[in-house]
Chain A
């Protein structure tokens, strides 16, 4: 026993020394990517380990290593705690030579990371977080926001469904800033498209039972029930809506933030008919299918979500900028370069990055297939309509970003 304790101690000391030497090897010659994600709770499946896979694939496909750059990827779990996330980000920038942080699902952590990235003049490629503040009042010259944001989800889904005849809405809203932002932005879109909101209910996060709220939604007689929530809250409310015969009773369910992993978790029997907005679907064209075919075996069979796709695409653009500048140290310069070059990648197609840091690409309104329509595992979406890149996101002038002159 004593011997074992001693050898454990020796091991610990050796471990500490290893950490020391690893730090010493880092030079400006290496592009070090930090994937900061949720590896252990709510967002693990839609980002998590899959984001690391996506980052690795971006490195392979960009061919950056053949052009003489060394690339290294590290990853960590922010546990959805802003203080844990920000201390990892600081440590990475201060003492481990990380040049760029990607992903960061969870708006609170992302806002903190964005602030630190600006302070240290590095680069933050946000793919996971939803808050449109990242390119609005909290925008930063060091941050690029890919994939999605609350405004785009709300606007896409709200406008499209209202125009298709869903003229009255009732919201089941997760009672936190993210849920309120979704509700606010969707309301604006619905009203602009000529619909009206007849009621809403604020639900504490991580509520298991939505039946009370669904009853309230049912008795409101609204044509559309908007789910302004995420993750487990969304899946539970959809599952119970099916149980209470909401859709059969003639009301439509609109998910405001739904990922393909949520649909997978619900099963088509329950999720069928659900309408929502996404910016990426694996089964869109040959390129996305090829990407997914390589991706899935590396991430427990999970087909890539739009967050994974965003990690991949944002890194491709980043590598292009670094390659052009031959520099990975000055964050603002790199981001400026990223903005000055058009984006063109296999997953999102052609697009650009706006001066407030918002990446523009098309978005798609999709409807979940019925079990009969689905031909294969993960064959889940029908694309109803395409929202062009210049209409999908919040107009530049409305964001209140200080970088916009």
Chain B
């Protein structure tokens, strides 16, 4: 029973990563109708950015974990904006399929370039000293860093949800997805808003990458397989549903954690089983609206 508690908690922590990643993907899909397959690569770029800041720094000054949490998402977000402006913006009028294929190709290019530069076994990234160590909860040993991940991601997820669903800015964003021409007529620069939204979604991926750097190996392929799982999370939650992505992220983390305990071999497959069932029963996902 105690072991089960531990597994549930671990599942929740992994869910925090899924939630953060799928949140970015859902924001991008909701507002741009683009399925961003580069998300995994951008997550990886976030982690590498943190590594780079620590080991090379800016102008010779090494920057640790905390500055990285701010700088890396902005840097990768700007990279995302460049991609949106130069490539993705040409595809908005076309089928979803093309956005998916373009970003799929970009992901291959980015991962390939990073691998050529940094090799395949990855780089070490030391945990910030303030977050090392752990507490014994009785049923398990909880590293402080993991506790931090869960808290931070909850705050980020809720803040994003609040901005999009409850503020004026969010209402413009949502309106722009329904009827861009009308919103434009009200004097709002829709293309710029879309660009910034994309940058924000990408930044979220990079942020998740920075948070992952101390616990997973910083490796050019760290996001390659993750993207498929995160994708499944978004689909199960309902494409474009912000709340759906967050709740499903945490929920599936827990389900996966339980699977790791009862039938570990299937832990990488269980999400897809759930996806098939959900899509058959609720075609638009758990929290999506049928169109």
Q: Please list the residues of chain A having a beta carbon within 8 angstroms of any beta carbon in chain B.
A: 40-46, 48, 175, 201-204, 206-209, 211-213, 215-216, 218-219, 231-232, 235-236, 239-240, 243-245, 249, 261-262, 264-267, 269-270, 300, 302
Q: List 15 A-B contacts (CB under 8 A).
A: A41-B115, A42-B120, A44-B119, A203-B264, A204-B265, A204-B268, A212-B264, A216-B261, A219-B6, A235-B122, A236-B216, A243-B143, A264-B121, A265-B124, A269-B124
Contact of A204 among B122, B221, B267 (CB under 8 A): B267
Contact of A43 among B120, B217, B225 (CB under 8 A): B120
A212 cross-chain contacts in B, Cβ below 8 A: 7, 10-11, 257, 260-261, 264, 267
CA distance A72 to B117 in the complex (A): 27
Q: Please list the residues of chain B having a beta carbon within 8 angstroms of any beta carbon in chain A.
A: 3, 6-7, 10-11, 13-14, 112, 115, 119-124, 126-127, 134, 140-141, 143, 145-146, 215-217, 219, 221-222, 225-226, 257, 260-261, 264-269
For the complex formed, measure the closest distance between the CB of B252 and the CB atoms of chain A, giving whole angstroms: 13
A302 cross-chain contacts in B, Cβ below 8 A: 119
A270 cross-chain contacts in B, Cβ below 8 A: 124
Let me know if A245 and B3 touch, CB within 8 A: no
A213 cross-chain contacts in B, Cβ below 8 A: 260, 264
Let me know if B121 and A46 touch, CB within 8 A: yes
Let me know if B225 and A175 touch, CB within 8 A: no
CA distance A171 to B215 in the complex (A): 21
Contact of A269 among B126, B141, B225, B267 (CB under 8 A): B126
Let me know if A44 and B134 touch, CB within 8 A: no
CA distance A390 to B217 in the complex (A): 37
B216 cross-chain contacts in A, Cβ below 8 A: 208-209, 236, 239-240
B126 cross-chain contacts in A, Cβ below 8 A: 267, 269
Let me know if A41 and B120 touch, CB within 8 A: yes
Given A40-B112, A212-B261, CB of A245 within 8 Å of CB of B141: yes
B268 cross-chain contacts in A, Cβ below 8 A: 204, 206-207
Let me know if B124 and A267 touch, CB within 8 A: yes
A208's nearest neighbour on chain B, judged by CB, is B216
Most chain A CB atoms below 10 A, which of B112, B225, B264, B267: B264
CA distance A7 to B169 in the complex (A): 52
A249's nearest neighbour on chain B, judged by CB, is B141
A302's nearest neighbour on chain B, judged by CB, is B119
Let me know if A175 and B123 touch, CB within 8 A: no
CA distance A266 to B123 in the complex (A): 7
A270's nearest neighbour on chain B, judged by CB, is B124
Let me know if B10 and A219 touch, CB within 8 A: no
For the complex formed, measure the closest distance between the CB of A93 and the CB atoms of chain B, giving whole angstroms: 28
- State the 9 A-B residue pairs at the shortest beta-carbon distance, nearest first: A267-B124, A212-B260, A204-B268, A265-B121, A44-B120, A45-B119, A45-B121, A235-B217, A211-B10
B145 cross-chain contacts in A, Cβ below 8 A: 243
B146 cross-chain contacts in A, Cβ below 8 A: 211, 243
A271's nearest neighbour on chain B, judged by CB, is B124
Contact of B222 among A44, A208, A265, A300 (CB under 8 A): A208
B261 cross-chain contacts in A, Cβ below 8 A: 212, 216
